[in-house]
Structure 1
Amino acid sequence: MSILIGLIVGLVLGLTGAGGSIFAVPLLMAGLDFSITQAATISLLAVAVSAALGTGLAWKHSYVRYRAATLIAVVGILFASLGIRVADRLHPSVLVLIFACVLAIVAVRMFYTATVSKEDTAVVRSAVTGEGASSTGKVGKVNPLSGRLIWSRSVAMTIAMIGAATGFLSGLLGVGGGFVIVPALRATLPLSMHSAVATSLMAIALTSSTTFVSCVLQGRNIPFYMALPFVTGSLLGMVLGRRVAALISGPRLQQGFAVAAGMISVAMIFDASASL
């Protein structure tokens, strides 16, 4: 069961560049009877390893904006410790409710973008093929020859704020934060979709791995004998997802994930409400 759940998580991450961990936590809780903090911590490990693999696969195509990813990760790491402390002080059912609400927001946004914008949902193919033209962002410019960001104070501040939000959610809920990073980069900076996805994967790998170590150092109980098969499955899913992504319709795939996420969030809300 552990390796199967990991396979699903890696597949989602490989297909979309985001959202793998948002499925990992509820699946681990339902399938392996983990508490939300245990599921969140194991999710961080699997997503970190899978995202690192995805970053390596994208690096050879020069899609990764590594300086932006590093800044997101550095700021995110600082805010992740705050998220961990908040999570450890909340009642588990309250934490589940917060997670379910975040999942519902992700589901609604995913379904909406799949319906109204083919360009925004081109992430499925762009993560593999590099398709999709650059969009005009609200902050900064890119070098038209290299595709790299031209840095300024406003660009740095924008990326730092994305990192802060990502890090806090990573520590609080055990999510990689790709569902925040990708749309935030696309909305604020003039990056193509494939650059946003690749940059997101590197930032997720750095932030999630460091947050996982922080969780362990703070004394969270981690059943590693079940975590390792989960990580193995996530790696296999990542490779499979990147291989088949170009063959699947982007909007249809996003809508399918959105419906699944919405159903999971509703179930989590009812379950958590009954426990309060």
Structure 2
Amino acid sequence: MIIEAVTLGLLIGVVIGMLGGGGAILTVPVLVYALGQDVHTATTTSLLVVALASGVGAWGQARHECVCWKHTSAFAPTALAGTVAGTALNQLVGATALLLLFAGLMLAAALATWNNGAAATEGVIGTQCPPVQRTRVILAGLGVGFLTGFLGVGGGFVIVPVLAVLLAMPMRGAIGTSLSIVTIVSACGLAAHLVSGSTIDFGIAVPLAAGCIAGAVAGPQFGRRVSAQHLAHGFAALLILVAGYVLIATAISGGAPGA
């Protein structure tokens, strides 16, 4: 199981490093279907893994001036408020409902990412961050925070399109900035889950996190060799595949594993 966790973590980390998100939305299905965790434990474990991997990825992106810190500082506080509400609701919803909501969210994110792929622009941020549109940032932050607490996702798959399309940030900068936001939001979401009584299986979390961190280091190297449009479309296709698997597996088994 350790080898499987490291290998799967490596793949998830590459996705996080390349795309600035998507790690948690893949980590939860991996923990449930491949590594045998129950859904509520998986959402908590996912936040630990993604916070660590995203932090490493953000550090690497910052070295290439691909993080817009003023957007991070504006986005994160509102996201934290949403996290509290999402965590409270997570404890009240059944495992099967969580998985179905998760699959629906993946399909919606895939559609938005695919449609926005044509509008994705290349480039790095450097000293040219687009203006912070506070109303949009606040609303997006609350939504991302809620998803983080409710479904155990860092929200990068939502943050990247928001930054790239709504806030006109170059795709490379959106990826780096997303990683910095995901790190903060995931860490706070993890704290909220632990305070509410959720648990982590460290026997799975440690090797999975180790693989994710290694993948997050390598991910940006791969990402810089791929066009922004191909990055967006590849991410969308991956989300559709995972969502399809979750829906089919849930239908065949009649519910979430262990539910």
Q: Which moved more, 1:254-263 or 1:86-95?
A: 254-263
- Give the structure 2 partner of residue 195 of structure 1: 173
- Give the structure 1 partner of residue 14 of structure 2: 11
- Give the structure 1 partner of residue 201 of structure 2: 223
Q: Measure the CA separation in 2 of the matches of 1:248 and 1:188.
A: 22
Deviation of the 1:172 alpha carbon:
0.9
Deviation of the 1:252 alpha carbon:
4.5
- Give the structure 1 partner of residue 129 of structure 2: 148
Identity %: 28
**Are 2:220 and 1:275 aligned?**
no
Q: For residues 234-274 of structure 1, what are the alpha-carbon distances to aligned partners after superposition, in whole Å with 9 as ceiling and x for unaligned?
A: 01111121122233455455444433322321232233342
Q: Conserved in 1, the CA contact under 8 Å of 2:123 and 2:173?
A: no
Structure 1: tracts of 5 or more residues without a match: 123-130, 135-144
Q: Conserved in 2, the CA contact under 8 Å of 1:48 and 1:209?
A: yes
Q: How many residues align?
A: 251
Match runs of 1:88-167 below 5 Å: 88-114=91-117, 117=118, 119-120=119-120, 131-132=122-123, 146-150=127-131, 155-167=133-145
Q: Measure the CA separation in 2 of the matches of 1:31 and 1:272.
A: 14
Q: What one-letter code is carried by the residue in structure 2 that aligns with 1:42?
A: T
Deviation of the 1:228 alpha carbon:
0.8
Change (3 A) 1:149 1:246: closer
Q: Measure the CA separation in 1 of the matches of 2:134 and 2:114.
A: 30
Q: What one-letter code is carried by the residue in structure 1 that aligns with 2:182?
A: I
Q: For residues 212-243 of structure 1, what are the alpha-carbon distances to aligned partners after superposition, in whole Å with 9 as ceiling and x for unaligned?
A: 11111211121112101111000111112112
Q: What one-letter code is carried by the residue in structure 2 that aligns with 1:93?
A: T
- Give the structure 2 partner of residue 57 of structure 1: 60
Match of 2:48 among 45, 53, 63: 45
Q: Conserved in 2, the CA contact under 8 Å of 1:55 and 1:198?
A: yes
Q: Which moved more, 1:248-257 or 1:87-96?
A: 248-257
Q: What TM-score, normalized to structure 2?
A: 0.88
Q: Measure the CA separation in 1 of the matches of 2:231 and 2:69.
A: 28
Q: Measure the CA separation in 2 of the matches of 1:264 and 1:149.
A: 33
Structure 2 residue matching 1:247: 3-state secondary structure? coil
Change (3 A) 1:111 1:30: same
Change (3 A) 1:188 1:264: closer
Q: Conserved in 1, the CA contact under 8 Å of 2:20 and 2:178?
A: yes
Q: For residues 30-49 of structure 1, what are the alpha-carbon distances to aligned partners after superposition, in whole Å with 9 as ceiling and x for unaligned?
A: 11111122111111111111
Q: Conserved in 2, the CA contact under 8 Å of 1:178 and 1:204?
A: yes
Q: What one-letter code is carried by the residue in structure 2 that aligns with 1:148?
A: C
Change (3 A) 1:270 1:51: same
- Give the structure 1 partner of residue 236 of structure 2: 258
Q: Conserved in 1, the CA contact under 8 Å of 2:124 and 2:173?
A: no
- Give the structure 2 partner of residue 180 of structure 1: 158
Q: What TM-score, normalized to structure 1?
A: 0.83
Q: Conserved in 2, the CA contact under 8 Å of 1:5 and 1:28?
A: no
Q: Conserved in 2, the CA contact under 8 Å of 1:178 and 1:200?
A: yes
Q: Conserved in 1, the CA contact under 8 Å of 2:55 and 2:180?
A: yes
Q: Measure the CA separation in 2 of the matches of 1:51 and 1:260.
A: 19
Q: Measure the CA separation in 2 of the matches of 1:206 and 1:92.
A: 26
Q: Measure the CA separation in 2 of the matches of 1:202 and 1:253.
A: 19
Match of 1:239 among 190, 198, 217: 217
Structure 2: tracts of 5 or more residues without a match: none
Q: Measure the CA separation in 2 of the matches of 1:266 and 1:36.
A: 17
Change (3 A) 1:256 1:181: closer
Q: What one-letter code is carried by the residue in structure 2 that aligns with 1:47?
A: V
What's the Cα RMSD here? 2.2
